[in-house]
Amino acid sequence: MNVMDTRATSAMLYLDGVHVSFDGFHAINNLSLTLAPGEMRAIIGPNGAGKTTMMDIITGKTKPDEGTVLFDGTVDLTRLDETRIAELGIGRKFQKPTVFESQTVQDNLLLALNVDHSVRGTLFWRGSKAESERIDKVLETIRLTDARNRLAGSLSHGQKQWLEIGMLLAQDPKVLLVDEPVAGMTDVETHLTAELLKEINRNHTIMVVEHDMTFVRELGVKVTCLHEGSVLAEGSIDQVSSNERVVEVYLGR
Amino acid sequence: MTPHILTRSLDRAATAFVLLVAAVGVLIPLSNLLLPQGSMFQVPTYLVALWGKYVCYAILALSIDLIWGYCGILSLGHGAFFALGGYAMGMYLMRQIGSRGVYGNPILPDFMVFLNWDKLPWYWYGFDKFAFAALMVLVVPGLLAFCFGWLAFRSRVTGVYLSIITQAMTYALLLAFFRNDFGFGGNNGLTDFKDILGFNVQAEGTRAALFLLSCLALIIAFLICRAIVSSKLGKVLIAVRDAESRTRFLGYRVESYKLFVFTLSACMAGVAGALYVPQVGIINPSEFAPANSIEAVIWVAVGGRGTLIGAALGAVVVNYAKTFFTSGPLAPYWLFMLGALFILVTLLLPKGIVGTFNSWWEPRRSTGIAADEASAAREDGISAAKMAE
């Protein structure tokens, strides 16, 4: 009991006994998971294991039927909406790259900056040097400096994925939830993305959902395998991938 | 408005538009008042009133474009805000009639005397003062939009569902205003106006002034819209339009943004209605008809959604066509033509007139720049080659 309490307060993200069902289908079933500050965690699992639903719960899109979801040890995320949770410092990259297609790469990053998000603030906004420097830095990190004035809609799939990661960087959240960052990427792009995430992990906590096992191996972090809405196995990639049940339900023999 | 907002919002096209409207706003009244009647360049008074009506429609179209073109809120009930602004102005004009009405009652408008009412209903108080009426022109549509938007946007009613409830809203108001005991003249509405601020509404000078004021209101509304869409707020609105939930996950309170533009847009529509009423001389419940709101959306689609200038242009073009066709032998077919126009524009010019022009013009302009740079680079190469020799 005491052990759990201390973990609850020190963890960046703390999920305990979470249940969600949609029309009788148990998408999340007694899910418990903790993410330590500064940790990067890879989440794997078959389709329908509840990976995206878990992110929906953390970001306030879906409310759990029961269970505890704490951020930074104290904040109860189940009571807050998406905007509030984003303001607190949880950023999210979607499975399907979601950027603002009709706006430029630069403007996409500008919108993502964690500055005043009120109607007044944006109406009377004037760019500052600090802001444009931050945008320049992010552009460099995601290797899109040359594309800054292009419309986000005209980027390649891989570039869109990066732009979305860049938007997360501009948002500078405490926790990044990254859903399938390398889906549809070439091997080189996948490798670069792994490097990018490792770099970001130096000062951010990250939870990354991915099917690409080469990529997960390259990240070299603790892996959690979900199945039918709860944790099936947790540990290093070698431990998890040699787990009998994981092989059976996910990796295949 | 701080200067940087003004400089940012006035690009070349916007400046040209403002100058054009200003020129029209000054030249048409001048030609009407100063040139002798029958002169080729003299604009007859009936045309001044007609074009004044178009200008009011242009303001309504702008207000729709601001929310639909930039924020993706398709209101099919914006005619309601227009009509409410019109009624507020109409109530002032009714009170100005005074004892010159048919029944000669100094306080009660004719229709109330006819209904045997013995005193003015409370909601008519204050409308004898122009300043109060002018305030109500903004407050009544604004307040309705705020309450409606607060409920709808907080419950995340979007897309076609929102459009349907805006239709229901204007239809409900239509039915309410039709009722005699609602206190706004029922079926007949408000009409037989005499004075506005002491000037005869029928007089040429008053009509010219109203036209000028309408053009001024159009310019102001346009500048407000430009200031908004060229600010960071405008980028947020487009973000909401294109990917609402993404915007939310970035930490923007989407409903506040929607509520802000929706309310502002309703106030603009109210002003348009208030300027419309003295120029056409009547306001009745038919202004609430759902078809009117839909027609206004068509103007925006024809002119070019999300271009502002296009919305204003679309309103004028479609209404000019309407006047032209409904006064000729083709009159019975106007609604078919309007429907065909909407379908054709959707199929052939999905970006509308101005949007299509922009997408034709932009690449030309930028390839022009690129070509210049290329030729400059070539010349550099040539001179470098000469140097080498």
pLDDT of res. A250: 85
The ipTM is: 0.88
Q: In this structure, what DSSP letter does residue A151 have?
A: B
DSSP B14-78: HHHHHHHHHHHHHHHHHHHHHSPTT-TTPPPHHHHHHHHHHHHHHHHHHHHHHHHHHH----S-H
pLDDT at A88: 93
Q: Name the residue ranges covered by the structural domains of chain A.
A: 10-89+173-252, 97-172
Asked if B250's CB is within 8 angstroms of A122's CB, the reply is: no
Q: Which of A19-33, B139-153, B254-268 has the lowest mean pLDDT?
A: A19-33
Residue with more model confidence, B226 or A47: B226
B-facing residues of A in 100-119 (CB < 8 A) are 100-103, 107, 110-112, 114, 117-119
pLDDT confidence bin for A229, thresholds 50/70/90: very high
> Any bridge partners for residue A76, and if so which?
A70
CA distance between the termini of chain B = 59
pLDDT, one tens digit per residue, over B269-295 is: 999 999 999 999 999 999 999 999 999
Shortest CA distance from A94: residue in chain B: B246
Domain ranges, ordered by start, for chain B: 3-350, 360-389
pLDDT classification of B380: cutoffs 50, 70, 90: very low
Reported as a single tens digit per residue, the pLDDT across A138-164 is 999 899 999 999 999 999 998 999 999
Q: Is the pLDDT of residue B379 over 90?
A: no
Q: Any residues with CB less than 8 A from the CB of B181 and at least 6 apart, and which?
A: B115
Amino acid B2: pLDDT: 54
Q: What are the pLDDT digits (tens) for B15-49?
A: 999 999 999 999 999 999 998 888 888 899 999 99
Q: Which residue in A100, A123, A171 is closest to B243 by CB distance?
A: A100
- Say whether residue A65 is in contact with chain B using an 8 A CB cutoff: no
From A104-108, B158-162, B329-333, the region with the lowest mean pLDDT = B329-333
CB contact, 8 Å: A83 with chain B?
yes
What pLDDT sits at residue B3? 61
Q: What percent of chain A stands above pLDDT 70?
A: 96
CATH 3.30.70.100 fits A10-89+173-252, yes or no: no
Do A111 and B5 lie within an 8 Å CB cutoff?
no
* The pLDDT of residue B389: 41
Cα of first residue to Cα of last residue in chain A, in angstroms, is 39
With contacts defined as CB-CB under 8 Å, which chain B residues touch A126?
4
Average pLDDT over residues B166-182: 96
A65 DSSP 8-state letter: S
Nearest to A117 among B4, B235, B252 (CB): B252
Chain B, window 114-173: residues with a beta carbon less than 8 angstroms from a chain A beta carbon: none
The predicted structure's pLDDT at residue A253 = 60
At B258, the pLDDT band (50, 70, 90 cuts) reads very high
Shortest distance, CA B137 to any CA of chain A (angstroms):
24
Separation CA B332–CA A94 (nearest Å):
53
- Find residues 137-166 of chain A whose CB sits inside 8 Å of chain B: none
- pLDDT single digits (tens) B36-87: 888 888 899 999 999 999 999 999 999 999 999 999 999 999 999 999 999 9
A125 reaches B (C-beta below 8 A)? yes
Q: What is the pTM of this model?
A: 0.90
Per CB-CB distance under 8 Å, the chain A contacts of B232 are 110-111, 122-123, 125
Interface contact B232-A82, CB threshold 8 A: no
Confidence band (pLDDT; 50, 70, 90) for B383?
very low
| Closest alpha carbon to A52 in A83, A11, A94, A97 | A94
pLDDT for position B369: 53
Q: Is A117 close to B5, i.e. CB distance below 8 A? A: no
Q: What angle do CA B215, B216, B221 make, to 5 degrees?
A: 95
Q: Is residue B233's pLDDT more than 90?
A: yes
Locus of tokens 């690129």: B370
Residues 240-279 in B contacting A (C-alpha not used; CB under 8 Å): 242-243, 245-254, 256-257, 260
